[in-house]
Amino acid sequence: MASPPTEMNAVNLDNAKGELLKFWIDEANKNITERSQRLTKTGKVAELRQKLATFHKIDLSATGTISTISEAVGALTIDESIQKRQWAHLRALGEEWKQERAAGRPFLLKKAASKILISSQTLCSVQSLALALPDKISHALSSLPDVTAEELTAAPPLDDTLVTEEMVYAWLGSHSVGNRSALINLHRVKQMLAKDKASSATSSPPSSTMPSPSSVNGTNLTAKPFIPASSTLPSVPHSQSLAPVTPSILDTCGTEILGLDQADNIRTAIAQVENGDVAKLREMYGPKQGRGGAHASWSKMNVMITRRERLFKQLQDEFNGDKDRFFAFFTLPTTENTTKKKGKESSEKLRPFRKIVEAIPHRDKDLAAEKEKAEYQNSEGEFVNGNWEARWGQQNSWEIWRSLGLEKY
pLDDT score of 223? 39
pLDDT score of 317? 93
In angstroms, how far is CA 362 from the centroid of its own chain? 41
Residues 361 and 381 reside in one and the same domain: yes
Q: Is it the case that residue 154 has pLDDT exceeding 60? A: yes
Residues 306 and 284 reside in one and the same domain: yes
With cut-offs at 50, 70 and 90, classify the pLDDT of residue 104: confident
Q: Of the ranges 127-141, 158-172, 211-225, which one carries the lowest mean pLDDT score?
A: 211-225
Asked whether residue 120 is assigned to any structural domain, the reply reads yes
Residues 165 and 44 reside in one and the same domain: no
Asked whether residue 236 is assigned to any structural domain, the reply reads no
Q: How far apart are CA 142 and CA 96, in angstroms?
A: 40
Residues 198 and 78 reside in one and the same domain: yes
Comparing 106 with 395, which gets the higher pLDDT?
395
Q: Is it the case that residue 322 has pLDDT exceeding 90? A: yes
With cut-offs at 50, 70 and 90, classify the pLDDT of residue 200: low
What's the mean pLDDT in 271-284? 86
Asked whether residue 291 is assigned to any structural domain, the reply reads yes
Asked whether residue 343 is assigned to any structural domain, the reply reads yes
Q: Is it the case that residue 63 has pLDDT exceeding 80? A: no
pLDDT tens digits, 361-381: 999 999 999 999 999 999 998
What's the mean pLDDT in 257-265? 66
DSSP string for 148-214:
-HHHHHHSPP-TTSEE-HHHHHHHHHHHHTT-HHHHHHHHHHHHHHHHHHHHHHHSPPPSS--PPPP
What's the mean pLDDT in 213-222? 38
Q: What is the average pLDDT score of the chain? A: 73
* φ, ψ (nearest 5 deg) of residue 260: -110, 140
With cut-offs at 50, 70 and 90, classify the pLDDT of residue 352: very high
**Which one-letter amino acid corresponds to residue 19?**
E
pTM of the model: 0.39
Q: How far apart are CA 359 and CA 372, in angstroms?
A: 21
Residues 146 and 112 reside in one and the same domain: yes
pLDDT score of 23? 82
Q: Is it the case that residue 234 has pLDDT exceeding 90? A: no
Comparing 262 with 251, which gets the higher pLDDT?
262
Residues 73 and 195 reside in one and the same domain: yes
Residues 45 and 108 reside in one and the same domain: no
Residues 285 and 323 reside in one and the same domain: yes
pLDDT tens digits, 116-135: 344 444 433 334 455 556 56
Residues 129 and 167 reside in one and the same domain: yes
3-state secondary structure of 383: strand
pLDDT score of 259? 59
Q: Is it the case that residue 294 has pLDDT exceeding 60? A: yes
Residue 178 belongs to domain spanning: 69-202
Most confident among 51-60, 344-353, 372-381 (mean pLDDT): 372-381
> What is the count of structural domains for the chain?
4
Q: Is it the case that residue 311 has pLDDT exceeding 90? A: yes
Comparing 118 with 197, which gets the higher pLDDT?
197
* φ, ψ (nearest 5 deg) of residue 119: -90, 140
Asked whether residue 244 is assigned to any structural domain, the reply reads no
Asked whether residue 114 is assigned to any structural domain, the reply reads yes
The DSSP 8-state label assigned to residue 318 in this structure reads T
Residues 142 and 124 reside in one and the same domain: yes
With cut-offs at 50, 70 and 90, classify the pLDDT of residue 93: confident
Asked whether residue 252 is assigned to any structural domain, the reply reads no
pLDDT score of 409? 92
Residues 77 and 191 reside in one and the same domain: yes
With cut-offs at 50, 70 and 90, classify the pLDDT of residue 266: very high
Closest CA to 14 of 57, 55, 52, 41: 52
Q: How far apart are CA 264 and CA 104, in angstroms?
A: 50
Asked whether residue 235 is assigned to any structural domain, the reply reads no
Residues 95 and 163 reside in one and the same domain: yes
